[in-house]
Amino acid sequence: MKTKLAVLCSATLLAGTCWAASKDSGSHNLTDVGSSFLDAVATSDYTGIELSKAAAANSQSQAVRGFAQQMADDQSNNYSALQALSDKKKHAIAPQFDGRQAETLRQVQSANNGDAIDRAYLDAMITDQSAMESVLERIANNSNDSDIARFASDTLTMVKKHQQAAAGLVRD
């Protein structure tokens, strides 16, 4: 619970910062906040891809394996779009796992119980996607950079779809 609260608090802080700075820049130059936004999405996508690959390989549930494969595919495609946007903005992205993400990946890779793998994976996906949703909404609705706003809007659609699918798997 502390981990989920910390993630949501940091996402809320990032969302507020990204929103405030996005209102300041109408140029094609990428602001520091724009850079932070792109880096945050890169880390979220990279984490999602790696966790999803591990869940697809280790889950005993066909439904979770299917969801994990779809997540890996969707986030790989989103990461490619992010790389193209970052190149256009002349910003190099370098996603990195934080301690929480590395621990979740370790749990998914090493759990010897299918239910434990599924629970760790789905909890991580729901937490990450919820945190990203608030950031993406603010950027999509308030950024003066049309490229970043469009990317945020497109990514938000994907994130909402993932949240609904993960929530459905948790209920089942």
Of residues 166 and 31, the one with the higher pLDDT is: 166
**To which residue do tokens 């932070």 refer?**
36
CATH number at residue 137: 1.20.1260.10
Q: What pLDDT is stored for residue 49 in this prediction?
A: 94
Of residues 81 and 99, the one with the higher pLDDT is: 81
Q: 103-114: per-residue pLDDT in tens?
A: 888 888 887 777
Q: 43-93: per-residue pLDDT in tens?
A: 999 999 999 999 999 898 999 999 999 999 999 999 999 999 999 999 999
Residue 45 belongs to what domain range?
2-22+31-171
Number of domains in the chain: 1
Contact 46, 5 (CB under 8 A): no
Q: What's the predicted TM-score (pTM) here?
A: 0.79
